[in-house]
Amino acid sequence: MASQIAARELFDQLQARLELRWAAGQAGESRVLESGEHLSRRPSLAGYLNIIYPNKVQILGSEELAWLDGLDARQRWETLQKIVNFRPLALVISKNQPCPADLHDACEESQTPLWISPRRGHELLTLIQYHLARALAPRITLHGVFMEVYSIGVLITGESGAGKSELALELVTRGHRLVADDAPEFTQIAPDVLDGTCPELLQDLLEVRGLGILNIRQMFGHTAIKRNKYLRLIVHLKPVGDPDHSGIDRLLGDLGLRRVLDLDVPTITLPVAPGRNLAVLLEAAVRLHLLRAKGIDPAQAFLARHSQQLKNDVSPW
């Protein structure tokens, strides 16, 4: 899913935290920055003023303004034209420094957003870079129920009617927390991290067949809801009679990997049949996943023990 952010949107999201003021170029508030492969290389999303590899958000600190003041009139005019012609998403002046009149005029004429903040340059760089990286990170929506179970993010998937919502409701009553039902959104905020959140429209809601839509926060309290969680495990519900399930390994279980964006997420398939306590099985699956993450695999330990037993047994024949 392609992501983008407009200058006005970025300003509104960071205004309170960075105490931003719009100094010039407000007509360019609709200027948009889109995600793309080129953002992983130069230019970067945010950085100090750079004429050779212009950043998407250019920060002007004391050194940058002093460098501009050291140019002669013609060089200064040419440099300012280069800055605005690169069409950055915004220019930001740090430490409430006075905005040069010619820079103000250049931004007004080119409709380049120009902001001023009392924060130091490194604070602006860190916060803006982090915010843009999250806003423009690869994003995908998956079908399922996203839960926090034993402190890790677990996505419950399966065909319609497999019992995902009923299982989620049972897990909530057992003290686990709901993140999102039906359409959780996952954002790859780092090479090995998928952050799962709930769309605003579905916040706090869980749809259960026969009961309709339930507000989990109102029914079970604020502690039953989790705002976001990193995806660590997928549990897939599949009917016992499914032909693809006939070859399940009784010792090792039905394990696999599912590709989500650029990450392979461990997957455990649980057979669904009448009378099976899926909540207990899912909790056991999560505990088993945590053990394997520590390098402890009961199945492999049993196979090693079995092999050792065969070696120790001396046949009388």
pLDDT of 38 > 50? The answer is: no
Candidates 313, 293, 310, 290; CA nearest to 302 is 310
* Same-domain check for residues 144 and 270: yes
CATH of the domain at 260: 3.40.50.300
- DSSP character for 253? -
Within the chain, strands assigned E span 4-6, 21-24, 32-34, 46-48, 57-60, 90-93, 114-116, 139-141, 144-149, 152-158, 177-182, 185-190, 193-197, 205-208, 212-215, 228-239, 255-260, 263-272
* Same-domain check for residues 200 and 123: no
Rounded to 5°, the CA angle 281-285-289 comes to 170
CATH of the domain at 32: 3.40.1390.20
Over residues 185-199, mean pLDDT:
91
Of the candidate ranges 15-24, 27-36, 185-194, the one whose mean pLDDT is the lowest: 27-36
* Same-domain check for residues 184 and 100: no
The one-letter amino acid code at 265 reads V
- Rounded Cα–Cα distance for residues 292 and 301 (Å): 11
- Rounded Cα–Cα distance for residues 305 and 311 (Å): 10
- Rounded Cα–Cα distance for residues 267 and 192 (Å): 16
* Same-domain check for residues 264 and 144: yes
* Same-domain check for residues 131 and 151: no
- Answer yes or no: is 266 within a domain: yes
Q: Specify the pTM.
A: 0.75
Binding residues for ATP, by number, are 158-165
**Domain final residue, candidates 79, 101, 135:** 135
**Domain final residue, candidates 135, 159, 192:** 135
| Predicted pLDDT at 23 | 92
- Answer yes or no: is 307 within a domain: no
Over residues 57-67, mean pLDDT:
93
Domain residue limits at 117: 4-135
- Answer yes or no: is 315 within a domain: no
- Rounded Cα–Cα distance for residues 170 and 274 (Å): 16
- Answer yes or no: is 89 within a domain: yes
Q: Which residues are catalytic?
A: 143, 164, 182, 250
Rounded to 5°, the CA angle 61-84-73 comes to 75
- Answer yes or no: is 241 within a domain: yes
pLDDT tens-digit series, residues 270-310: 888 887 889 999 999 999 999 988 888 887 788 788 788 88
Within 162-261, strands assigned E span 177-182, 185-190, 193-197, 205-208, 212-215, 228-239, 255-260
Quick one: pLDDT band at residue 316, thresholds 50, 70, 90? Answer: low
Binding residues for Mg(2+), by number, are 165, 207
Binding residues, by number, are 158-165, 207
* Same-domain check for residues 169 and 97: no
* Same-domain check for residues 98 and 51: yes
pLDDT tens-digit series, residues 94-123: 999 999 999 999 999 999 999 999 999 999
- Cis before residue 43, ω within 30 degrees of 0? yes
* Same-domain check for residues 130 and 19: yes
Domain count, the chain: 2
- Give the chain's mean pLDDT: 88
**Domain final residue, candidates 98, 117, 135:** 135
Distance of CA 25 to the CA centre of its chain: 31
